Amino acid sequence: MTVHSQGATTSAPQDAPQKSAGRPKVPGTGTGPSHPSPRGDRRSLPSGWAPYLLVLPAVLSLATLLLYPLIKNVILSFQDINKIEFIQRKYPFAGLDNYTQLLGDSDFWTVVLRSFGFTFANVALIMAVGCLIGILLNRLGKWMRLVLSMALVMAWAMPIVASVQVFKWLFDEQFGVMNWVMRSAGFSGYDQHNWFETGFSTLVIITILVVWGSVPFVALNMYAGLTTVGAELYEAARMDGANGWQTFWKVVFPQLKPFFLITTFLEVIWVFKAFTQVYAMNKGGPDRASEILPVFAYVEGQSQFHYGLAAAISVLTILILIIVMSFYFRLILKQEEEQ
């Protein structure tokens, strides 16, 4: 029993509802009718759709910028379009004539072999020099590492056309630095020596340019990977009497094998499709002796006005790269499964 200020008495069972009435009411917990949500009766999308909606803008952009031109290029490769047909806007169907002409052309296979040789030489040098500089970064002190890293980043960030102009000046026939260096070193025959006289020498200069511009990427990634290798592994290798090469091959390489696979994969793609360096250096000359497949396709299309043939060259280039990369991609997937 409880006594109110007015003197009336109430029983305990009647007191419980009064206490509950004094507590704040939580929305949605009562038994009464629920209030409608501000959104009305609109339902939200299933949660499984969210990832697809997020990537939809990127997919549409890629389809517009890459897929549509690729399809148009494939269609063009089956047409016989030269300068006259292009002016008259006639697009005669040629079937497989462009492909049979290319596959039976010795010049095409010469360019294919040159492209593979150019890619192999560049990737091998990039990986070797980049790994060595990455190891050097890992062993340098703080300030020297900072200076070298800044130099690598500046070389990496330099525009390709600007770097090509610098290299053309270095190897200039009349005012080039390299001719002056060779004469100063006592070598004869370097008075106005033409470094771009042959296709091989031109490709050598382009290789130096490509390696110079690509090494920073490998070196910085190599240094980042080395920071993940525990110091106790190096200590164990030293206690076992391993030298520097054995330490790298037995300790560093197994730990950074995914890095080597992915980086080599990317470098093969980037070097194989190199266009700006080769064309800007000497336009594939002299006498088209330094052309690789992308430059070969461009010259056939823009200089020789064989648009259908150029499209077929680009399609074959993509197919060759896909076939070569498929074996390497299987190796990467196998490595991931082993881990």
- 166-189 pLDDT tens trace: 999 999 988 889 999 998 888 888
| Structural contact between residues 256 and 335, judged by C-beta atoms closer than 8 angstroms | no
Q: What is the reported pLDDT for 6?
A: 44
Which residues have CB under 8 Å from 280's CB, separation 6+?
160, 161, 164
- Lowest-confidence region among 142-146, 253-257, 274-278: 253-257
Q: What is the reported pLDDT for 28?
A: 46
| Structural contact between residues 248 and 131, judged by C-beta atoms closer than 8 angstroms | no
C-alpha 161/C-alpha 53 separation (Å) is 39
Task: Calculate the alpha carbon distances from 100 to 94, 113, 115, 149 in Å.
Answer: 11, 18, 20, 50
C-alpha 89/C-alpha 164 separation (Å) is 37
Confidence band for 287, pLDDT divided at 50, 70 and 90: confident
Q: Residue 73 is which amino acid?
A: N
Q: What is the reported pLDDT for 47?
A: 63
C-alpha 277/C-alpha 275 separation (Å) is 6
Q: What is the reported pLDDT for 243?
A: 80
pLDDT average, residue stretch 221-239: 83
DSSP annotation string for 140-152: S-HHHHHHHHHHH
Averaged pLDDT of the chain: 82
Check residues 245 and 151 and name the one with the higher pLDDT.
151
pLDDT average, residue stretch 147-163: 91
Q: pLDDT per residue over 61-114, tens digit each?
A: 888 888 888 898 999 999 888 888 777 788 888 888 889 999 998 999 999 999
C-alpha 56/C-alpha 49 separation (Å) is 11
Looking up tokens 């697009």 gives 91
C-alpha 274/C-alpha 268 separation (Å) is 10
Q: How many CB atoms lie within 10 A of CB 317?
A: 20
